Structure 1
């Protein structure tokens, strides 16, 4: 069965069930998230009250919360963009077990994205973290979010490379990592997106941007060749010195006997002269 059909069947079973085991988890998800962020403008505080927890669907009236059904405590998506929220990446999202949309854009979030984000929110179709101050590498685990259609990470401080595993995100129709600190090659599957999706990352190269410069790779190869030559020369000198001053180490090697005999037969005063002629 195709992945899309599995997801559709799973959602239909949840929506048709008279009682959803996940509703309590969804409330827990929002409570944990609320405690983990800094709500400087008091926007969440004004509506996110967990006192009336006996009413079905009461969390659906919270600012930024969309539910699958207004009479069920099941989060469909969180639209928390432009609310002035601060702090690290919010906690508790793994308890929003049927969430498919997460928008944290245009806030003041900072720090790294959890490496296990795909485990926390595996069914997302849309992830928008743009216009924040998130930093560190983009988690490669995002490639496991196979239902993802939209991934917006622009205007942050992400560094390192775009994970090559993103080639597996075949459903992506919207992608943007502009204005970060990224470097390296753009994965081939992302070449279909416009150059504006990658602009503002001076270290990025490859289609649809300019070709990657070859000079640094040539310099790297030249450096490797130089290091190999130096290593070979040092190895020869060390081996010769050892053979000269510790010949008993080689006595048991019949293949070396002719060379050892020649070395031992050379007077010490003529050794340097012979070496120079060699």
Structure 2
């Protein structure tokens, strides 16, 4: 785990120099998130106040659910927005939080699909928790590009379809949970080391650690064999041949008896 963290930090430092000076972009990120979600309890409205009288102060680090890389820098490390009663679609504007490594939206009322390009929006995530919401649609296979991911929790939503086989690329996963969804199909081999309880509540899922996937049985279908009709000329020819053969055999039996012994037993009628 320590080696993974060091590698991620190095990648963040080398990927783009703007990461070290991303204050304005991170502020815009949080503004977009606040505007795109429904906040019936007013948690974000009352806490995320952007009219800062001290421009050089890292004021967003005091926002509810916002963790910063440094206490004196407006640069988001993670968003912990779980259990705040938030609603609406998946938050927008996260691509402006260019160095965020943790995203927790659990225990809210979010709905709709996860963006198919989520790995482009938050490429450096090590933890993604969307559990206990009402997200729908398929699980984006694009998540497999989030190569730093250690924790992926999608429990208790309404995801359908298969677990993307591309998840075999998520070799750093230490925690994975998709229980209580509408998933079906085989469990990717890399994920089969996790407990069966992490896949429970999906009637269509199969494969280790759950029951084996059934092999579809072959259905035998009757094959209709068509017998070609003999045309009239063929029928007449066959009949004539039969009559001629009978007459020759009847009146000239010596033509069909080769042995003298058998010829003696031939009786003319």
Taking structure 1 as the reference length, the TM-score comes to 0.76
Cα deviation code 1:175-199 (max 9, x no counterpart): 0000000001001100110000000
Cα deviation code 1:199-243 (max 9, x no counterpart): 0001001111111223xx11xx42xx64xx76xx69x89xx9xxx
How far apart, in 1, do the equivalents of 2:21 and 2:235 lie? 92
Q: Report the 3-state secondary structure (helix = DSSP H, G, I; strand = E; otherwise coil) of the residue aligned with 1:73.
A: coil
CA RMSD of aligned residues (A): 2.9
Q: 1:61 to 1:4 in 2, by over 3 A?
A: closer
Cα deviation code 1:80-107 (max 9, x no counterpart): 0000000000000011000000000000
**How far did residue 4 of structure 1 move?**
6.6
**How far did residue 23 of structure 1 move?**
1.3
How far apart, in 2, do the equivalents of 1:68 and 1:195 lie? 36
- Runs of 5+ consecutive residues of structure 2 not aligned to the other structure: 237-269
Partner of 1:94: 95
Q: Report the 3-state secondary structure (helix = DSSP H, G, I; strand = E; otherwise coil) of the residue aligned with 2:34.
A: helix
Partner of 2:60: 59
Partner of 1:37: 37
Partner of 1:20: 20
What count of residue pairs does the alignment treat as equivalent?
233
Q: Report the 3-state secondary structure (helix = DSSP H, G, I; strand = E; otherwise coil) of the residue aligned with 1:134.
A: strand
How far apart, in 2, do the equivalents of 1:267 and 1:56 lie? 104
Q: Report the 3-state secondary structure (helix = DSSP H, G, I; strand = E; otherwise coil) of the residue aligned with 1:32.
A: helix
How far apart, in 1, do the equivalents of 2:57 and 2:11 lie? 22
**How far did residue 51 of structure 1 move?**
1.0
Contact 2:19 2:98 in 1 (8 A): no
Partner of 1:140: 141
- Runs of 5+ consecutive residues of structure 1 not aligned to the other structure: 241-261, 272-278
Taking structure 2 as the reference length, the TM-score comes to 0.79
Higher relative helix content: 1
Q: Runs in 1 of length 4+ with deviation above 2 angstroms?
A: 2-8, 10-14, 17-21, 266-271
- The structure number with the bigger radius of gyration is 2
Partner of 1:79: 80
Q: 1:140 to 1:268 in 2, by over 3 A?
A: farther
How far apart, in 2, do the equivalents of 1:270 and 1:114 lie? 73
How far apart, in 2, do the equivalents of 1:5 and 1:137 lie? 33
Q: Report the 3-state secondary structure (helix = DSSP H, G, I; strand = E; otherwise coil) of the residue aligned with 1:94.
A: helix
How far apart, in 1, do the equivalents of 2:141 and 2:30 lie? 26
Cα deviation code 1:18-66 (max 9, x no counterpart): 9933111111100011000000000111110111172331100100000
How far apart, in 1, do the equivalents of 2:50 and 2:106 lie? 25
Partner of 1:156: 157
Cα deviation code 1:140-175 (max 9, x no counterpart): 010000000000000000000000000000000000
